[in-house]
Amino acid sequence: MTGPRRVVITGAGTINSLGHDVPSTLDAMREGRCGIGPLDLRDAERLSIRIGGQVKGYDEQAHFDRQQIALYDRFTQFTLLAAAQAMAQSGIVLSDEERDRAGVVLGTAGGGVNTWDDSYRSVYEEGKNRVHPFVVPKLMNSAAASHVSMKHDLRGPSFTVATACSSSNHAMGLAFQMVRSGLCEAMLTGGSEAMLCFGGIKAWEGLRVMSKDACRPFSANRNGMVQGEGAAVFVFEEHDRARARGAEILAEVAGFGMTADAADIVMPSALGAERAMRVALRDAGLSPEDVGYINAHGTGTAANDKSECASVSHVFGAAADRLMISSTKSMHGHLIGGTGAVELLACIMALRDGVIAPTIGYEMPDPECALDVVPNVAREARVDAVLSNAFAFGGLNAVLALRAA
Amino acid sequence: MDLRDRVIAIIAEQAMLEPSDVTPEQSPADLGIDSLGLVESIFAIEEAFDMSVPFNANAPEESDFDISSVAAIIAAVERLVQEQRTPA
Protein backbone atom coordinates (compact mmCIF):
# COMPACT_ATOMS: atom_id res chain seq x y z
CA MET A 1 0.00 0.00 0.00
CA THR A 2 1.23 3.48 -0.81
CA GLY A 3 0.34 6.04 1.85
CA PRO A 4 -2.76 6.17 4.05
CA ARG A 5 -6.12 5.05 2.71
CA ARG A 6 -8.30 7.79 1.29
CA VAL A 7 -12.08 7.92 1.35
CA VAL A 8 -14.33 9.15 -1.44
CA ILE A 9 -18.05 9.61 -2.00
CA THR A 10 -19.37 7.64 -4.98
CA GLY A 11 -23.12 7.88 -4.47
CA ALA A 12 -25.65 10.29 -2.99
CA GLY A 13 -29.38 10.20 -2.40
CA THR A 14 -31.91 12.44 -0.70
CA ILE A 15 -35.49 13.40 -0.10
CA ASN A 16 -36.24 16.72 1.60
CA SER A 17 -38.42 19.79 1.23
CA LEU A 18 -36.45 20.96 -1.82
CA GLY A 19 -36.82 17.76 -3.84
CA HIS A 20 -37.19 14.00 -3.86
CA ASP A 21 -33.69 13.35 -5.25
CA VAL A 22 -30.25 14.93 -5.52
CA PRO A 23 -30.62 16.70 -8.90
CA SER A 24 -33.86 18.45 -7.91
CA THR A 25 -32.40 19.42 -4.52
CA LEU A 26 -29.26 20.89 -6.08
CA ASP A 27 -31.37 22.75 -8.67
CA ALA A 28 -33.31 24.33 -5.81
CA MET A 29 -30.11 25.29 -3.97
CA ARG A 30 -28.67 26.75 -7.16
CA GLU A 31 -31.81 28.80 -7.74
CA GLY A 32 -32.08 29.83 -4.08
CA ARG A 33 -35.54 28.33 -3.83
CA CYS A 34 -37.23 28.01 -0.44
CA GLY A 35 -38.80 24.72 0.65
CA ILE A 36 -40.29 26.22 3.81
CA GLY A 37 -44.03 26.85 3.91
CA PRO A 38 -47.22 26.43 5.95
CA LEU A 39 -47.27 23.13 7.86
CA ASP A 40 -49.81 20.64 6.65
CA LEU A 41 -50.38 18.39 9.67
CA ARG A 42 -53.04 17.31 12.11
CA ASP A 43 -53.98 19.88 14.80
CA ALA A 44 -51.75 22.55 13.23
CA GLU A 45 -54.28 25.15 14.41
CA ARG A 46 -53.21 24.40 18.01
CA LEU A 47 -49.57 25.23 17.23
CA SER A 48 -48.05 28.68 17.59
CA ILE A 49 -45.32 27.72 15.08
CA ARG A 50 -47.00 26.85 11.79
CA ILE A 51 -44.21 26.78 9.20
CA GLY A 52 -41.65 24.13 8.30
CA GLY A 53 -39.69 22.51 5.50
CA GLN A 54 -42.02 19.59 4.86
CA VAL A 55 -41.45 16.97 2.18
CA LYS A 56 -44.21 17.78 -0.30
CA GLY A 57 -46.13 15.57 -2.72
CA TYR A 58 -45.04 12.46 -0.85
CA ASP A 59 -47.16 9.31 -1.06
CA GLU A 60 -45.74 6.46 1.01
CA GLN A 61 -47.92 3.96 -0.86
CA ALA A 62 -46.16 4.84 -4.09
CA HIS A 63 -42.90 3.49 -2.60
CA PHE A 64 -43.82 0.85 -0.02
CA ASP A 65 -46.40 -1.91 0.41
CA ARG A 66 -48.78 -2.32 3.33
CA GLN A 67 -46.49 -4.61 5.37
CA GLN A 68 -43.54 -2.28 4.89
CA ILE A 69 -45.54 0.76 5.93
CA ALA A 70 -46.55 -1.08 9.10
CA LEU A 71 -42.82 -1.33 9.95
CA TYR A 72 -41.34 1.85 8.46
CA ASP A 73 -41.78 5.14 10.31
CA ARG A 74 -41.53 8.22 8.09
CA PHE A 75 -37.84 8.72 9.04
CA THR A 76 -37.09 5.12 7.95
CA GLN A 77 -38.97 5.56 4.69
CA PHE A 78 -36.96 8.70 3.88
CA THR A 79 -33.73 6.88 4.71
CA LEU A 80 -34.53 3.86 2.53
CA LEU A 81 -35.40 6.07 -0.44
CA ALA A 82 -32.18 8.08 -0.09
CA ALA A 83 -30.07 4.94 0.40
CA ALA A 84 -31.47 3.31 -2.75
CA GLN A 85 -30.59 6.42 -4.80
CA ALA A 86 -27.06 6.49 -3.37
CA MET A 87 -26.45 2.80 -4.08
CA ALA A 88 -27.81 3.15 -7.62
CA GLN A 89 -25.56 6.10 -8.39
CA SER A 90 -22.49 4.47 -6.86
CA GLY A 91 -22.87 1.21 -8.75
CA ILE A 92 -20.69 -0.42 -6.12
CA VAL A 93 -20.60 -4.22 -6.27
CA LEU A 94 -19.51 -6.03 -3.12
CA SER A 95 -18.45 -9.65 -2.90
CA ASP A 96 -20.01 -11.88 -0.28
CA GLU A 97 -16.89 -11.55 1.88
CA GLU A 98 -16.77 -7.78 1.44
CA ARG A 99 -20.36 -7.46 2.68
CA ASP A 100 -19.06 -8.44 6.11
CA ARG A 101 -16.87 -5.32 5.99
CA ALA A 102 -19.47 -2.86 4.71
CA GLY A 103 -22.02 -1.32 7.05
CA VAL A 104 -24.52 1.43 7.77
CA VAL A 105 -23.94 4.34 10.16
CA LEU A 106 -26.76 6.86 10.29
CA GLY A 107 -27.70 9.88 12.36
CA THR A 108 -31.10 10.80 13.75
CA ALA A 109 -32.04 12.79 16.83
CA GLY A 110 -35.61 11.67 17.32
CA GLY A 111 -36.06 8.46 15.36
CA GLY A 112 -39.70 7.46 14.94
CA VAL A 113 -41.27 10.60 16.37
CA ASN A 114 -44.43 10.23 14.26
CA THR A 115 -44.90 6.71 15.60
CA TRP A 116 -44.57 7.90 19.20
CA ASP A 117 -46.98 10.76 18.49
CA ASP A 118 -49.63 8.64 16.75
CA SER A 119 -49.45 5.89 19.37
CA TYR A 120 -49.69 8.26 22.35
CA ARG A 121 -52.61 9.95 20.68
CA SER A 122 -54.44 6.68 20.32
CA VAL A 123 -53.94 5.56 23.94
CA TYR A 124 -54.27 8.95 25.68
CA GLU A 125 -56.58 11.00 23.49
CA GLU A 126 -58.66 8.31 21.86
CA GLY A 127 -58.64 6.11 24.97
CA LYS A 128 -57.67 2.94 23.14
CA ASN A 129 -56.11 0.15 25.17
CA ARG A 130 -53.83 -1.29 22.51
CA VAL A 131 -51.43 -0.03 19.89
CA HIS A 132 -50.15 -1.63 16.71
CA PRO A 133 -47.90 -4.62 17.49
CA PHE A 134 -44.94 -3.14 15.60
CA VAL A 135 -44.73 0.16 17.46
CA VAL A 136 -41.40 -0.67 19.13
CA PRO A 137 -39.47 -1.85 16.03
CA LYS A 138 -41.00 1.06 14.12
CA LEU A 139 -40.04 3.88 16.46
CA MET A 140 -36.56 2.80 17.58
CA ASN A 141 -33.81 5.22 16.51
CA SER A 142 -31.84 2.40 14.93
CA ALA A 143 -34.72 1.09 12.78
CA ALA A 144 -33.57 2.93 9.66
CA ALA A 145 -29.99 1.60 9.93
CA SER A 146 -31.33 -1.94 10.36
CA HIS A 147 -33.66 -1.73 7.38
CA VAL A 148 -30.95 -0.26 5.15
CA SER A 149 -28.54 -3.03 6.16
CA MET A 150 -31.20 -5.66 5.35
CA LYS A 151 -32.23 -4.07 2.08
CA HIS A 152 -28.66 -3.84 0.75
CA ASP A 153 -27.27 -6.88 2.59
CA LEU A 154 -24.53 -4.94 4.36
CA ARG A 155 -23.31 -7.01 7.31
CA GLY A 156 -20.47 -4.99 8.82
CA PRO A 157 -20.52 -2.33 11.59
CA SER A 158 -24.00 -0.77 11.62
CA PHE A 159 -25.62 1.52 14.17
CA THR A 160 -27.29 4.86 14.75
CA VAL A 161 -25.74 7.96 16.27
CA ALA A 162 -27.87 10.42 18.23
CA THR A 163 -26.14 13.69 19.02
CA ALA A 164 -29.07 16.05 18.41
CA CYS A 165 -28.26 18.46 15.57
CA SER A 166 -24.81 16.93 14.98
CA SER A 167 -26.06 13.34 14.56
CA SER A 168 -25.47 13.06 10.81
CA ASN A 169 -22.05 14.66 10.91
CA HIS A 170 -20.97 12.36 13.72
CA ALA A 171 -22.34 9.37 11.76
CA MET A 172 -20.54 10.34 8.57
CA GLY A 173 -17.35 11.13 10.48
CA LEU A 174 -17.35 7.66 12.03
CA ALA A 175 -18.10 5.99 8.69
CA PHE A 176 -15.18 7.95 7.20
CA GLN A 177 -12.85 6.77 9.96
CA MET A 178 -13.96 3.16 9.50
CA VAL A 179 -13.13 3.18 5.79
CA ARG A 180 -9.91 5.13 6.27
CA SER A 181 -8.65 2.80 9.00
CA GLY A 182 -9.26 -0.27 6.85
CA LEU A 183 -11.93 -1.65 9.19
CA CYS A 184 -14.49 -1.31 6.40
CA GLU A 185 -14.48 -1.50 2.63
CA ALA A 186 -17.40 0.84 2.11
CA MET A 187 -20.17 2.43 4.19
CA LEU A 188 -23.66 3.75 3.66
CA THR A 189 -23.92 6.82 5.85
CA GLY A 190 -25.88 10.02 6.41
CA GLY A 191 -29.01 10.68 8.39
CA SER A 192 -32.70 11.32 8.59
CA GLU A 193 -35.33 13.15 10.63
CA ALA A 194 -39.12 13.30 10.55
CA MET A 195 -40.18 15.41 13.52
CA LEU A 196 -42.81 17.56 11.83
CA CYS A 197 -45.86 16.32 13.71
CA PHE A 198 -47.96 17.93 16.43
CA GLY A 199 -45.90 16.64 19.38
CA GLY A 200 -42.58 17.24 17.62
CA ILE A 201 -43.32 20.90 16.97
CA LYS A 202 -45.00 21.41 20.37
CA ALA A 203 -41.83 20.33 22.13
CA TRP A 204 -39.73 22.80 20.14
CA GLU A 205 -42.17 25.66 20.71
CA GLY A 206 -41.37 25.49 24.41
CA LEU A 207 -37.79 26.67 23.94
CA ARG A 208 -38.99 29.81 22.14
CA VAL A 209 -36.19 29.71 19.60
CA MET A 210 -38.40 29.03 16.56
CA SER A 211 -39.31 31.63 13.96
CA LYS A 212 -42.93 32.12 13.01
CA ASP A 213 -42.15 33.50 9.55
CA ALA A 214 -38.77 32.51 8.03
CA CYS A 215 -35.25 31.21 8.62
CA ARG A 216 -32.86 34.11 7.97
CA PRO A 217 -29.38 32.98 9.02
CA PHE A 218 -26.79 35.72 9.64
CA SER A 219 -29.32 38.48 8.86
CA ALA A 220 -29.59 41.10 11.62
CA ASN A 221 -33.38 40.64 11.69
CA ARG A 222 -33.24 36.84 12.10
CA ASN A 223 -35.69 35.57 14.67
CA GLY A 224 -35.14 31.88 15.00
CA MET A 225 -34.91 28.47 13.42
CA VAL A 226 -37.40 26.63 11.22
CA GLN A 227 -37.62 22.85 11.26
CA GLY A 228 -37.33 20.66 8.20
CA GLU A 229 -37.55 16.93 7.52
CA GLY A 230 -36.05 14.37 5.17
CA ALA A 231 -32.90 12.32 4.69
CA ALA A 232 -29.65 12.13 2.78
CA VAL A 233 -27.46 9.05 2.43
CA PHE A 234 -24.04 8.58 0.82
CA VAL A 235 -21.77 5.76 -0.26
CA PHE A 236 -18.31 6.24 1.27
CA GLU A 237 -15.70 4.05 -0.42
CA GLU A 238 -11.96 3.57 -0.38
CA HIS A 239 -10.35 5.78 -3.04
CA ASP A 240 -8.26 3.24 -4.99
CA ARG A 241 -11.13 0.82 -5.19
CA ALA A 242 -13.44 3.51 -6.59
CA ARG A 243 -10.80 4.60 -9.11
CA ALA A 244 -10.11 1.04 -10.20
CA ARG A 245 -13.74 0.37 -11.03
CA GLY A 246 -14.11 3.72 -12.83
CA ALA A 247 -16.68 5.12 -10.42
CA GLU A 248 -17.58 8.79 -10.60
CA ILE A 249 -16.08 10.40 -7.50
CA LEU A 250 -18.34 13.17 -6.16
CA ALA A 251 -15.83 14.39 -3.56
CA GLU A 252 -13.18 13.17 -1.16
CA VAL A 253 -13.86 13.07 2.57
CA ALA A 254 -10.56 14.36 3.91
CA GLY A 255 -10.94 14.89 7.65
CA PHE A 256 -13.19 14.94 10.66
CA GLY A 257 -13.12 16.84 13.93
CA MET A 258 -15.32 16.41 16.99
CA THR A 259 -15.32 18.17 20.33
CA ALA A 260 -17.56 18.86 23.32
CA ASP A 261 -18.08 22.37 24.73
CA ALA A 262 -18.56 20.90 28.22
CA ALA A 263 -20.40 24.11 29.05
CA ASP A 264 -24.17 24.44 28.58
CA ILE A 265 -27.11 22.27 27.49
CA VAL A 266 -28.44 24.83 24.99
CA MET A 267 -26.08 27.78 24.57
CA PRO A 268 -23.21 27.24 22.10
CA SER A 269 -19.58 28.03 22.89
CA ALA A 270 -17.45 29.59 20.17
CA LEU A 271 -14.41 27.84 21.61
CA GLY A 272 -15.83 24.32 21.23
CA ALA A 273 -16.79 25.01 17.61
CA GLU A 274 -13.39 26.54 16.94
CA ARG A 275 -11.59 23.49 18.28
CA ALA A 276 -13.74 21.15 16.14
CA MET A 277 -12.87 23.09 12.97
CA ARG A 278 -9.16 23.07 13.85
CA VAL A 279 -9.19 19.32 14.45
CA ALA A 280 -10.96 18.70 11.12
CA LEU A 281 -8.45 20.86 9.24
CA ARG A 282 -5.48 19.16 10.89
CA ASP A 283 -6.96 15.70 10.27
CA ALA A 284 -7.39 16.58 6.59
CA GLY A 285 -3.92 18.14 6.28
CA LEU A 286 -5.48 21.44 5.23
CA SER A 287 -4.54 24.96 6.21
CA PRO A 288 -7.23 27.67 6.55
CA GLU A 289 -6.08 29.22 3.24
CA ASP A 290 -7.00 26.00 1.40
CA VAL A 291 -10.68 26.20 2.35
CA GLY A 292 -12.96 28.14 0.01
CA TYR A 293 -16.37 27.40 1.48
CA ILE A 294 -18.01 26.44 4.75
CA ASN A 295 -21.50 25.04 4.93
CA ALA A 296 -22.45 26.67 8.21
CA HIS A 297 -24.52 25.24 11.00
CA GLY A 298 -26.32 28.61 10.57
CA THR A 299 -29.58 27.91 12.36
CA GLY A 300 -30.91 31.47 12.21
CA THR A 301 -31.02 31.79 15.99
CA ALA A 302 -29.48 34.81 17.65
CA ALA A 303 -27.10 32.64 19.64
CA ASN A 304 -25.75 30.21 17.05
CA ASP A 305 -25.00 32.56 14.17
CA LYS A 306 -23.10 35.05 16.29
CA SER A 307 -21.09 32.37 18.03
CA GLU A 308 -20.39 30.45 14.79
CA CYS A 309 -19.10 33.57 13.00
CA ALA A 310 -16.83 34.38 15.92
CA SER A 311 -15.36 30.88 15.87
CA VAL A 312 -14.83 30.96 12.07
CA SER A 313 -13.07 34.34 12.37
CA HIS A 314 -10.75 32.96 15.05
CA VAL A 315 -9.85 29.82 13.08
CA PHE A 316 -9.42 31.51 9.69
CA GLY A 317 -7.92 34.86 10.71
CA ALA A 318 -7.04 36.86 7.61
CA ALA A 319 -8.15 33.95 5.40
CA ALA A 320 -11.75 34.59 6.55
CA ASP A 321 -11.86 37.52 4.12
CA ARG A 322 -11.66 35.16 1.13
CA LEU A 323 -13.98 32.56 2.58
CA MET A 324 -17.60 31.96 1.60
CA ILE A 325 -19.96 30.62 4.26
CA SER A 326 -23.63 29.91 3.72
CA SER A 327 -26.50 28.28 5.55
CA THR A 328 -28.76 26.16 3.35
CA LYS A 329 -31.11 25.75 6.33
CA SER A 330 -32.64 28.96 4.98
CA MET A 331 -34.02 26.78 2.15
CA HIS A 332 -34.60 23.26 3.52
CA GLY A 333 -35.05 24.13 7.18
CA HIS A 334 -33.23 22.51 10.08
CA LEU A 335 -33.45 18.73 9.73
CA ILE A 336 -32.12 18.33 13.30
CA GLY A 337 -30.36 14.91 13.30
CA GLY A 338 -30.52 14.67 9.51
CA THR A 339 -29.31 18.15 8.75
CA GLY A 340 -25.59 17.55 8.19
CA ALA A 341 -26.41 14.88 5.61
CA VAL A 342 -28.58 17.14 3.44
CA GLU A 343 -26.04 19.94 3.87
CA LEU A 344 -23.25 17.70 2.59
CA LEU A 345 -25.01 17.93 -0.77
CA ALA A 346 -24.23 21.66 -0.87
CA CYS A 347 -20.59 20.80 -0.18
CA ILE A 348 -20.55 18.35 -3.08
CA MET A 349 -22.14 20.98 -5.35
CA ALA A 350 -19.42 23.46 -4.37
CA LEU A 351 -16.56 21.02 -5.00
CA ARG A 352 -17.87 19.22 -8.08
CA ASP A 353 -19.95 21.87 -9.85
CA GLY A 354 -18.26 25.05 -8.64
CA VAL A 355 -21.58 26.44 -7.40
CA ILE A 356 -21.90 27.87 -3.89
CA ALA A 357 -25.41 27.56 -2.45
CA PRO A 358 -26.70 30.86 -1.06
CA THR A 359 -28.06 31.90 2.33
CA ILE A 360 -31.54 33.01 1.34
CA GLY A 361 -33.80 35.32 3.34
CA TYR A 362 -30.85 37.57 4.02
CA GLU A 363 -32.15 41.12 4.49
CA MET A 364 -29.90 43.07 6.85
CA PRO A 365 -26.16 42.87 7.61
CA ASP A 366 -25.26 41.99 11.18
CA PRO A 367 -21.91 43.36 12.38
CA GLU A 368 -21.57 40.24 14.53
CA CYS A 369 -21.81 38.04 11.41
CA ALA A 370 -19.44 40.03 9.18
CA LEU A 371 -18.44 37.22 6.80
CA ASP A 372 -19.27 36.59 3.14
CA VAL A 373 -22.51 34.65 3.69
CA VAL A 374 -23.32 34.38 -0.05
CA PRO A 375 -26.55 36.35 0.41
CA ASN A 376 -29.66 35.27 -1.50
CA VAL A 377 -28.03 34.31 -4.82
CA ALA A 378 -25.84 31.30 -5.61
CA ARG A 379 -22.33 32.04 -6.81
CA GLU A 380 -19.98 30.35 -9.26
CA ALA A 381 -16.58 29.79 -7.72
CA ARG A 382 -13.79 27.23 -7.91
CA VAL A 383 -13.14 25.77 -4.46
CA ASP A 384 -10.75 22.92 -3.66
CA ALA A 385 -11.70 22.23 -0.06
CA VAL A 386 -14.71 22.85 2.16
CA LEU A 387 -15.90 22.34 5.74
CA SER A 388 -19.36 21.31 6.91
CA ASN A 389 -20.23 22.44 10.44
CA ALA A 390 -22.68 20.91 12.90
CA PHE A 391 -22.96 22.21 16.47
CA ALA A 392 -25.56 20.49 18.60
CA PHE A 393 -27.48 21.40 21.74
CA GLY A 394 -25.41 20.22 24.64
CA GLY A 395 -22.23 21.40 22.96
CA LEU A 396 -21.47 18.34 20.81
CA ASN A 397 -19.62 19.56 17.72
CA ALA A 398 -18.82 17.65 14.51
CA VAL A 399 -17.04 19.12 11.50
CA LEU A 400 -16.28 17.34 8.23
CA ALA A 401 -13.56 18.45 5.79
CA LEU A 402 -13.89 17.59 2.10
CA ARG A 403 -11.70 18.00 -0.97
CA ALA A 404 -12.54 18.12 -4.65
CA ALA A 405 -12.11 14.76 -6.42
CA MET B 1 -51.64 36.41 46.90
CA ASP B 2 -52.09 39.24 44.39
CA LEU B 3 -50.72 39.22 40.87
CA ARG B 4 -47.57 41.09 41.84
CA ASP B 5 -46.71 38.64 44.61
CA ARG B 6 -47.43 35.65 42.39
CA VAL B 7 -45.08 36.92 39.67
CA ILE B 8 -42.39 37.67 42.25
CA ALA B 9 -42.81 34.19 43.73
CA ILE B 10 -42.28 32.62 40.30
CA ILE B 11 -39.17 34.70 39.64
CA ALA B 12 -37.82 34.08 43.14
CA GLU B 13 -38.24 30.33 42.78
CA GLN B 14 -36.32 30.39 39.49
CA ALA B 15 -33.57 32.52 41.07
CA MET B 16 -33.52 30.29 44.16
CA LEU B 17 -34.11 33.33 46.40
CA GLU B 18 -36.70 34.31 48.98
CA PRO B 19 -39.44 36.52 47.48
CA SER B 20 -38.42 39.23 49.97
CA ASP B 21 -34.97 39.34 48.32
CA VAL B 22 -36.41 40.20 44.90
CA THR B 23 -36.77 43.92 44.23
CA PRO B 24 -38.66 45.61 41.35
CA GLU B 25 -35.66 47.27 39.72
CA GLN B 26 -33.61 44.07 39.37
CA SER B 27 -33.25 42.44 35.94
CA PRO B 28 -33.40 38.67 35.44
CA ALA B 29 -29.62 38.73 34.92
CA ASP B 30 -29.15 40.60 38.23
CA LEU B 31 -30.99 37.74 39.89
CA GLY B 32 -28.77 35.15 38.21
CA ILE B 33 -31.49 33.92 35.83
CA ASP B 34 -29.98 32.75 32.52
CA SER B 35 -31.73 32.32 29.15
CA LEU B 36 -33.02 28.85 30.01
CA GLY B 37 -34.25 30.10 33.39
CA LEU B 38 -36.05 32.96 31.69
CA VAL B 39 -37.85 30.63 29.29
CA GLU B 40 -38.86 28.46 32.26
CA SER B 41 -40.13 31.51 34.19
CA ILE B 42 -42.27 32.56 31.26
CA PHE B 43 -43.69 29.04 31.03
CA ALA B 44 -44.52 29.19 34.77
CA ILE B 45 -46.24 32.56 34.29
CA GLU B 46 -48.29 31.18 31.40
CA GLU B 47 -49.35 28.21 33.51
CA ALA B 48 -50.12 30.30 36.61
CA PHE B 49 -52.26 32.86 34.78
CA ASP B 50 -53.59 30.54 32.07
CA MET B 51 -52.45 32.80 29.29
CA SER B 52 -50.06 33.00 26.38
CA VAL B 53 -46.93 35.19 26.61
CA PRO B 54 -45.50 36.45 23.31
CA PHE B 55 -41.77 35.94 23.76
CA ASN B 56 -39.05 34.95 21.29
CA ALA B 57 -35.70 34.18 22.92
CA ASN B 58 -33.92 35.25 19.71
CA ALA B 59 -35.18 38.81 19.92
CA PRO B 60 -36.32 39.51 23.49
CA GLU B 61 -36.29 43.26 22.89
CA GLU B 62 -38.70 42.91 19.97
CA SER B 63 -41.09 40.61 21.79
CA ASP B 64 -44.28 42.24 23.00
CA PHE B 65 -43.29 41.38 26.57
CA ASP B 66 -40.83 43.53 28.48
CA ILE B 67 -38.44 41.46 30.59
CA SER B 68 -35.94 44.22 31.42
CA SER B 69 -36.78 44.22 35.12
CA VAL B 70 -39.04 42.56 37.68
CA ALA B 71 -41.31 45.62 37.62
CA ALA B 72 -41.52 45.47 33.82
CA ILE B 73 -42.44 41.80 33.91
CA ILE B 74 -45.19 42.48 36.47
CA ALA B 75 -46.56 45.30 34.31
CA ALA B 76 -46.47 43.11 31.21
CA VAL B 77 -48.32 40.31 33.00
CA GLU B 78 -50.95 42.80 34.26
CA ARG B 79 -51.49 44.01 30.71
CA LEU B 80 -51.75 40.50 29.28
CA VAL B 81 -54.21 39.46 32.00
CA GLN B 82 -56.40 42.43 30.99
CA GLU B 83 -56.08 41.65 27.27
CA GLN B 84 -56.59 37.92 27.53
CA ARG B 85 -59.31 37.93 30.20
CA THR B 86 -61.99 35.57 28.95
CA PRO B 87 -65.52 36.98 29.14
CA ALA B 88 -67.41 35.62 32.15
CA angle B74, B79, B82 (to 5 degrees): 125
Other C-beta atoms closer than 10 Å to the C-beta of A384 total: 14
B62 CA: distance to closest CA in chain A (Å): 10
Tell me what pLDDT residue A265 has: 93
Distance between CA A272 and CA A166 in Å, rounded? 13
Model pTM score: 0.95
Residues A58 and A77 sit within 8 Å (Cβ to Cβ): no
Q: Supply the range of the domain harboring residue A47.
A: 7-244
Tell me what pLDDT residue B85 has: 75
Other C-beta atoms closer than 10 Å to the C-beta of A338 total: 38
pLDDT digits (tens, 9 = 90+) for A160-181: 999 999 999 999 999 999 999 9
Which DSSP state fits A378? -
Statement to judge: residues A21 and A149 lie in one domain: yes
Chain B residues in contact with A209 (beta carbon < 8 A):
56-58
**CATH at B62:** 1.10.1200.10
**CATH at A282:** 3.40.47.10
Query: Residue A379 CA to chain centroid, in angstroms?
Result: 22
Is-catalytic flag, A369?
A: no
Give the pLDDT band of residue B86 (cuts 50, 70, 90): low
Last residue of some domain: A220, A244, A268? A244
Is-catalytic flag, A297?
A: yes
Between chains, do B39 and A206 touch, taking CB under 8 Å as contact? yes
Q: Which of A165, A197, A309, A347 is catalytic?
A: A165
Nearest residue to A39 (alpha-carbon basis) of A29, A31, A49? A49
Tell me what pLDDT residue B24 has: 95
Q: Supply the range of the domain harboring residue B20.
A: 3-84
Q: Which residue of A48, A208, A265 is in closest CB contact with B57?
A: A208
Between chains, do A207 and B56 touch, taking CB under 8 Å as contact? no
Tell me what pLDDT residue B64 has: 84
Tell me what pLDDT residue B1 has: 85
Between chains, do B42 and A208 touch, taking CB under 8 Å as contact? yes
Give the pLDDT band of residue B62 (cuts 50, 70, 90): confident
Distance between CA A187 and CA A235 in Å, rounded? 6
Q: Which of A297, A309, A347, A369 is catalytic?
A: A297
Between chains, do A223 and B52 touch, taking CB under 8 Å as contact? no
Counting Cβ atoms within 10 Å, is residue A394 exposed (0-12), middle (13-18) or buried (19+)? Answer: middle
Q: Helix H segments across A222-372?
A: 239-244, 270-284, 302-316, 329-332, 339-348
Is-catalytic flag, A239?
A: no
Residue A250 lies in a domain: no
Tell me what pLDDT residue A293 has: 98
- Domain count of the fold of chain B: 1
pLDDT digits (tens, 9 = 90+) for B8-60: 999 999 999 999 999 999 999 999 999 899 999 999 999 999 999 999 988 88
Chain A residues in contact with B35 (beta carbon < 8 A):
266-267, 303
- Per DSSP, the three-state class of A303 is helix
pLDDT digits (tens, 9 = 90+) for A61-102: 999 999 999 999 999 999 999 999 999 999 999 999 999 999
- Per DSSP, the three-state class of A332 is helix
Burial A104-142 (b: 16+ CB within 10 A, else e): bbbbbbbbbbbbbbbbebbeeeeeeeeeeeebebbbbbb
Q: Which residue of A has its CA nearest to B37?
A: A207
Residues A76 and A145 sit within 8 Å (Cβ to Cβ): no
Distance between CA B52 and CA A187 in Å, rounded? 48
Tell me what pLDDT residue A273 has: 98
Whether B29 and chain A come into contact, CB under 8 Å, resolves to no
- Domain count of the fold of chain A: 2
Q: Which residues of chain A have a pLDDT value below 70?
A: 1-2
Statement to judge: residues A324 and A283 lie in one domain: yes
Statement to judge: residues A146 and A290 lie in one domain: no
Give the pLDDT band of residue B88 (cuts 50, 70, 90): low
Residue A186 lies in a domain: yes
Nearest residue to A397 (alpha-carbon basis) of A292, A331, A293, A308? A308
Statement to judge: residues A68 and A116 lie in one domain: yes
Tell me what pLDDT residue A5 has: 96
Statement to judge: residues A77 and A209 lie in one domain: yes
Tell me what pLDDT residue A92 has: 98
